[in-house]
Chains A and B, each alone.
Chain A
Amino acid sequence: MAIPASYRELDVLLPPRLAVETVWTSLSDKITDALILPDGRADLILRFMLDDDDRPYDIIPIIAGPSADYWFSPAIPCRGFVGLRFKPGFGGYFLGVDLAGIAGRAYSGDEALALAPQLVALCQPATDVESLIIRMEQFFDDYAEPQISAILVRVMNDMHLSGGRAAIKDLARDNGVTVRGLHRLFVKFVGLSPKAFAAVLRFHRALRLLTRAGLSLSHAALEAGYADQAHMTRDFKRHGGFTPAAIPPNLVMVGLPL
């Protein structure tokens, strides 16, 4: 199972920049399905086909809910994607959907339009992929800066800093909120429980420790905060569908900035 290397995060600063993590593009591989790792974020995606002149047609919207599970994007020649990844906590506001209700699922075409009819404006014909990217970037220009809980922002920050290791009860205590209150904030704004969100962060850090830092399996398990190597293996199978000893080559690892 190979992963297409064509996934690319674009270097853009968008208003309101607080809410968007990245704009990305991807081209479907011709032969192999693409493994999509969970990142706990919601994405708005435009899927399209490219004609011989690289002109997009059949443009349809996809709303990908926040997920803690991996999935596969089927191999279809000449199929492309432009995606906008919302920072955790902000996607629901911009899409106008309840993220907890769409967690772990992707809605495409009419299903997506049923959730967010305003997205129909994104599906007009386009001359090239670049103009689709610009269309996507400008779509939320008129939206006001969303207000989300300062406590939630602080907790998500601490979660990222600890690589998903900090105990939920400690995060709640340190930020002056009950565990139940924190759970409610996460479900409402992020769409996942704090535990599921932290598990995704821990999985990604363990992956980086193994692939970039070059740690051994036992050291990576310890440093990432797993009880033992078996625990790390179970988590890898759950979130990635592979074991730590058999990480697919050319794995697409999204940037998950603070």
Chain B
Amino acid sequence: MKFGYTIIYVAQVVETIEFYEKAFGMTRKFIHESHTYAELDTGETILAFAAHEAAELNDLSITPNRRDGIAAGFEVCLVTDNVQEAYGHAVENGASGVSKPAQKPWGQTVAYLRDLNGCLVEICTEIAN
């Protein structure tokens, strides 16, 4: 068994991909023509988005993520050299700040935001060994 994907169910797949490109500088891997599934180019472990309809099609019961609601208990964590700059760029492009970049005692710089769907996104520096 290996970890292949994280798939987040969202109301608008294409809008979400565009948001991640604009706010976090990610790039799309592909968007299915039905606009119900898309992947970001995140390397071997893929961050993907699927439409709510896809959850329903598979008879899943889910709580939709919502920008004005309480965040679900998970986060997407993006690693960068310059957290300050990435945080500012994300906020300028529609992400809402949760906590500004702060240095942790173990040397890591960490900031938290909410994406357009209300999902938690952490931006941090690599942990020094």
A residues adjacent to B (C-beta < 8 A):
157-158, 160-163, 165-166, 174, 176, 205, 208-209, 212-213, 223-225, 257-258
Contact = CB atoms under 8 A, between A and B. Distances in A.
Contacts of A258: 52-53, 56
A90 B63 CA distance: 24
B61 A158 contact: no
B128 to A, nearest CB: 40
A163 B62 CA distance: 8
Contacts of A224: 61
A250 to B, nearest CB: 20
B59 A212 contact: yes
Contact of A161 (B56, B68, B69): B56
B59 A161 contact: no
B55 interface: yes
A205 B64 contact: no
B62 A161 contact: yes
A205 B57 CA distance: 11
Contact of B66 (A163, A174, A208): A174
Top 8 A-B pairs ranked by shortest CB distance? A163-B61, A174-B69, A208-B59, A165-B61, A162-B61, A161-B62, A161-B64, A258-B56
Contacts of A165: 61
A257 B57 CA distance: 9
B60 to A, nearest CB: 8
Contacts of A213: 59
Contacts, number: 37
Given A158-B63, A225-B61, 18 more contacts: A157-B64, A161-B52, A161-B56, A161-B62, A161-B63, A161-B64, A162-B62, A162-B63, A163-B59, A163-B61, A208-B59, A212-B59, A213-B59, A224-B61, A257-B56, A258-B52, A258-B53, A258-B56
A155 to B, nearest CB: 11
22 contacts: A157-B52, A157-B64, A158-B63, A158-B64, A161-B55, A161-B56, A161-B62, A161-B63, A162-B62, A162-B63, A163-B61, A166-B63, A174-B66, A205-B59, A205-B61, A208-B59, A209-B59, A212-B59, A213-B59, A224-B61, A225-B61, A257-B53
A249 to B, nearest CB: 20
Contacts of A174: 66, 69
A168 to B, nearest CB: 14
Interface string B40-69: 000000000000110110011111101011
Nearest to A163: B61
Contacts of A208: 59
Contacts of B63: 158, 161-162, 166
Nearest to B69: A174
A213 B60 CA distance: 11
A161 B58 CA distance: 11
A225 B59 CA distance: 13
Contacts of B60: 163
Nearest to B60: A163
A211 to B, nearest CB: 10
Contacts of B53: 257-258
B62 to A, nearest CB: 5
Contacts of A212: 59
B69 to A, nearest CB: 5
Contacts of B55: 161
Nearest to B11: A157
A43 B78 CA distance: 50
Specify which of A161, A223, A224 lies most central, judged by the most chain B CB atoms within 10 Å of its CB: A161
